[in-house]
């Protein structure tokens, strides 16, 4: 059992929690908690760390013992945990690598395109909601928060394992490629002439969502096929990025579900 705070492996785990550069260098990310562990694909698990007290009473020992694992003291586990209330199990997972073609493999793909989203909770929630709504993939600008940030991972509630995604250097360029492939790129924009529920999303569609504070950059918005907006009452100008994304995704899901019943 690891009991030393200065243990080199413990130091490395702390680094993975804190630094995207360290995660990228070793091609790993961390997931914490029993639910995330139980949903983790077997082939992606590299190492498992469990607290002494968790290991004594856990009901998932069979899965733990299929992989390299270490028992650590409760005090050491608190050091490697990114939460205020550690759940007692942490996994080192292999990072995912997808291509644009994988995101576009469905006949009429439904995509989210995110520009410079900064809040980890927003990004994780978009992943989770996207899976629920049947989104086929998420495209992100390089300035979007790291998807492997521990707060993002927690917010995905397991969707990180199943939702394909890519980061791109130029959203304008990728939007051009999507349009060449007959994907209707709809930008969420205050200057939209159509309400979000007046457009047809049954064909290949991508929703373009901007930064929480600044919205979409002009050149990015200009590259879209059209602007759409959500009706607002009172003095509210816009919704939270994750909430707005949910509105768009579930409208597309509603239309596609309705068509499948016809």
Domain ranges in the chain are 8-94, 100-261
- Percentage of the chain surpassing pLDDT 70? 99
pLDDT of 86-116, one tens digit each?
999 999 999 999 999 999 999 999 999 999 9
The pLDDT confidence band at residue 262, using thresholds 50, 70 and 90, is low
Bridge partners of residue 50, in order along the sequence: 71, 89
pTM of the model: 0.94
Stated as kind and residue range, the H or E segment containing 72 is: strand 69-72
pLDDT at 208: 97
3-state secondary structure of 262: coil
pLDDT at 192: 81
pLDDT at 146: 98
167 vs 85, higher pLDDT: 167
- Topology (CATH level 3) of domain 100-261: Alpha/beta knot (3.40.1280)
Q: What mean pLDDT value characterizes the chain?
A: 95
CATH architecture of 8-94: 2-Layer Sandwich (3.30)
3-state secondary structure of 56: helix
Bridge partners of residue 112, in order along the sequence: 138, 207
Range 11-15 contact pairs with CB under 8 angstroms and sequence separation of 24 or more = 13/49, 13/80, 13/90, 13/92, 14/79, 14/80
pLDDT of 205-259, one tens digit each?
999 999 998 999 999 999 999 999 999 899 888 789 999 999 999 999 999 998 7
- The DSSP secondary structure of 106-160, one letter per residue, reads SSS-EEEEESS---HHHHHHHHHHHHHHT--EEEEETTSPPTTSHHHHHHHTTGG
Number of H helices, E strands in the chain: 12, 11
- Percentage of the chain surpassing pLDDT 90? 91
pLDDT of 113-134, one tens digit each?
999 999 999 999 999 999 999 9
pLDDT at 120: 97
pLDDT at 209: 97
| Residue recorded with tokens 């968790």 | 54
| Residue recorded with tokens 């550690």 | 86
Alpha-carbon separation of residue 66 from 47, 69, 72 (angstroms): 10, 9, 18
Q: Give CA–CA dist 122/138, Å, rounded.
A: 13
pLDDT at 239: 86
pLDDT of 25-63, one tens digit each?
999 999 999 999 999 999 999 999 999 999 999 999 999
């Amino acid at each position: 059992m690891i009991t030393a705070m200065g243990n080199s492996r413990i130091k490395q785990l702390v680094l993975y929690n804190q630094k995207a550069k360290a995660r990228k260098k070793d091609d790993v990310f961390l997931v914490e908690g029993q639910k995330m562990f139980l949903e983790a694909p077997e082939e992606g698990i590299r190492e498992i760390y469990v607290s002494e007290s968790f290991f004594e009473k856990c009901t998932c020992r069979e899965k733990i013992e299929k992989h390299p694992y270490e028992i650590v003291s409760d005090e050491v586990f608190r050091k490697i945990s990114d939460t205020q209330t550690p759940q007692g199990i942490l996994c080192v997972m292999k990072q995912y690598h997808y291509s644009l073609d994988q995101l576009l493999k469905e006949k009429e793909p439904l995509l989210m395109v995110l520009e410079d989203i900064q809040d980890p909770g927003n990004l994780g929630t978009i992943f989770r909601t996207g899976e629920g709504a049947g989104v086929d993939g998420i495209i992100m600008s390089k300035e979007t928060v790291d998807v492997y940030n521990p707060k993002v991972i927690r917010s995905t509630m397991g969707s990180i394992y199943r939702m394909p995604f890519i980061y791109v250097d130029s959203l304008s360029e990728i939007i051009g490629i999507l349009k060449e492939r007959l994907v209707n790129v709809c930008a969420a924009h205050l200057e939209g002439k159509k309400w979000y529920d007046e457009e047809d999303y049954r064909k290949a569609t991508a929703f373009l969502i901007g930064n929480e504070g600044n919205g979409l950059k002009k050149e990015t918005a200009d590259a879209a096929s059209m602007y759409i907006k959500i009706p607002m009452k009172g003095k509210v100008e816009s919704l939270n990025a994750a909430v707005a994304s949910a509105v768009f995704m579930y409208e597309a899901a509603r239309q596609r579900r309705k068509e499948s019943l016809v």
